[in-house]
């Protein structure tokens, strides 16, 4: 049973052990009455029963004093900076992240006033080199969202360009906004955005997965993008270059079953290349207003475009053929996987959004099923973002 006081100390200590990730900490927290029990085990037991590698087992068994002191420093720093440390068992931890990611960070550092659950959460991301077109859309989009969903939470990454425009538009329209950071507290990046922090914390919050004692690394911002995708009910990409960082957020949204929307743009501008590619590939819904997102959130959007684009084949000379039903008797499938394979066998190439709706399942559930089936070689993803047997 999770004890929020003592187990936070021991859980934080485990985050300093190389080779012990969030999924393993969760496993250990469910295996033992308290995470403190893990530190009482001999090295051999940690390897054989807890399935830890030898290096991690050695660190826990022989360096527990150092690890616990590091954890104490985290707790002290959090208290000094009025930052809450939320574990996955905390009622205030974003439940959407727990549902969508088996490797969701075991701890999040949060400072703010906004609830992270039981409300519409819209993540808005895009290029730092935003055009007037992107700025105008972001501001009008958020203003319209505030009328349709007065309790919505606007999430972004505090970066220059689209991110900070989304945060400010939320504040200007009376919405809460959450800034997910790629740095640890109390570091703010970019530094000149510190001037927005007090308003964001008063009407939303700051959040990071990174320890106070961690160093800033470029890869941290990729991890930040995973949170921005996983926490959302929908991800909106406003402008992005063909290789822009926002595409990581879109890709994670696609993998996690979060609806992704993209603003189409002038094909001659590099800022539109990423969004246009997302729409062309079928990984994003075309969005030009809050009404488009409203349709997606309510489940009433027109999926005819997804039906068309998901059927695109990689072949340059496609041959029309009727969907062939596989020999299900030869496949060792559970009920849900069998249901999806039977549907694809009958319907042909179909986008995951449509599969989820037709089978009355969440997109996250269908995404997990399709991933397993793809790994087993039973289905494949087409160039248009659809799936076929």
Specify the 3-state DSSP secondary structure of 109. Answer: strand
Q: What is the pLDDT of residues 170-200, one digit of tens each?
A: 999 999 999 999 999 989 999 999 999 999 9
Task: State the number of CA atoms in the 13 A half-sphere of 149 facing the CB.
Answer: 21
Average pLDDT, the chain: 88
Note the pLDDT tens digit of each residue in 35-90: 999 999 999 999 999 999 999 999 999 999 999 999 999 999 999 999 999 999 99
* CA distances to 301, 348, 357 from 294, in Å: 8, 28, 17
| Alpha-carbon distances of 131 from 188, 241, 264, 320, rounded to whole Å | 24, 12, 13, 43
- Asked if pLDDT for residue 326 goes beyond 60, the answer is no
Confidence category of residue 315, pLDDT binned at 50, 70, 90: very low
Going by C-alpha positions, the residue among 375, 242, 358 that lies closest to residue 303 is 358
- Where do we find the tokens 């990409």? 237
Q: Is the pLDDT of residue 93 over 80?
A: yes
Q: How confident is the model at residue 327 (pLDDT cuts 50, 70, 90)?
A: low
Tell me the CATH number for domain 328-388: 1.10.10.10
Residue 342 has pLDDT above 70, yes or no: yes
pLDDT classification of 388: cutoffs 50, 70, 90: confident
Read off the tokens for 53.
């590698």
**CATH number for region 112-301:** 3.40.50.450
Residue 124 contacts residue 156 (beta carbons within 8 Å): yes
The model's pLDDT over 97-114, given as tens digits with 9 standing for 90+, comes to 998 887 899 999 999 999
pLDDT band at 3 (very low <50, low <70, confident <90, very high): low
Give the model confidence (pLDDT) of 343-376 as tens digits.
898 888 888 878 888 888 877 788 878 878 887 7
Within 8 A by CB and 6+ apart from 73, the residues are 212, 213
Q: What share of the chain is helix, strand, coil (3-state, %, to 5)?
A: 50, 10, 40
**The two three-digit tokens of residue 275, written as one number:** 């969004």
- Pair type for strands 350-351 and 285-286: unpaired
Q: Strand 107-112 vs strand 204-208: parallel, antiparallel, or unpaired?
A: antiparallel
| pLDDT-based confidence at residue 314 (cuts at 50, 70, 90) | very low
Portion of the chain with pLDDT greater than 90, in percent = 66
Q: What is the pLDDT of residue 317?
A: 40
Backbone conformation region of residue 244, classed left if phi is above 0, alpha if psi is from -120 to 50, else beta: beta
Give Cα separations from 338 to 108, 178, 287 (angstroms). 37, 40, 34
> What confidence tier does 313 reach under pLDDT thresholds 50, 70, 90?
very low
For the segment 288-316, the average pLDDT, to the nearest whole number, is 65
């Amino acid at each position: 049973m999770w004890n929020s006081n003592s187990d936070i100390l021991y859980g934080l200590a485990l985050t300093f052990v190389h080779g012990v990730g969030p999924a393993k900490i969760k496993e250990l927290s469910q295996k033992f009455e308290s995470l403190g029990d893990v530190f009482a085990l001999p090295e051999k037991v940690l390897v054989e029963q807890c399935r830890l590698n030898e290096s991690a087992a050695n660190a826990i068994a022989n360096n527990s004093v150092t690890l616990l002191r590091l954890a104490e420093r985290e707790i002290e720093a959090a208290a000094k900076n009025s930052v809450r440390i939320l574990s996955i068992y905390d009622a205030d931890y974003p439940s959407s992240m727990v549902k969508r990611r088996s490797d969701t960070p075991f701890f999040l550092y949060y400072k703010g006033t906004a609830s992270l659950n039981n409300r519409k959460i819209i993540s808005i991301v895009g290029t730092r080199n935003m055009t007037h077109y992107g700025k105008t859309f972001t501001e009008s989009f958020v203003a319209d969202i505030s009328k349709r969903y007065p309790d919505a939470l606007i999430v972004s990454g505090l970066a220059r360009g689209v991110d900070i425009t989304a945060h400010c538009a939320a504040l200007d329209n009376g919405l809460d906004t959450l800034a997910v950071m790629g740095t640890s507290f109390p570091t703010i990046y970019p530094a000149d955005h510190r001037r927005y922090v007090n308003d964001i914390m008063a009407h939303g919050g700051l959040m990071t997965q990174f320890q106070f004692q961690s160093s800033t690394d470029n890869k941290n911002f990729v991890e930040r993008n995973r949170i921005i995708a996983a926490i959302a009910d929908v991800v909106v990409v406003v402008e992005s270059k063909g290789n822009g960082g926002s595409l990581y957020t879109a890709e994670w949204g696609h993998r996690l079953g979060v609806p992704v929307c993209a603003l189409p743009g002038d094909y001659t501008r590099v800022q539109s290349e990423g969004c246009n590619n997302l729409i062309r590939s079928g990984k994003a819904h075309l969005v030009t207003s809050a009404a488009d997102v409203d349709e997606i959130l309510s489940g009433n959007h027109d999926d005819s475009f997804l039906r068309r684009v998901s059927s695109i084949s990689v072949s340059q000379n496609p041959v029309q053929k009727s969907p062939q039903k596989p020999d299900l008797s030869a496949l060792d499938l559970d009920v849900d996987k069998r249901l999806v394979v039977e549907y694809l066998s009958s319907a042909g190439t179909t986008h995951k959004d449509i599969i989820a709706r037709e089978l009355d399942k969440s997109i996250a559930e269908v995404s997990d099923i399709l991933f397993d089936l793809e790994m087993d070689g039973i289905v494949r993803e087409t160039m248009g973002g659809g799936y076929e047997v």
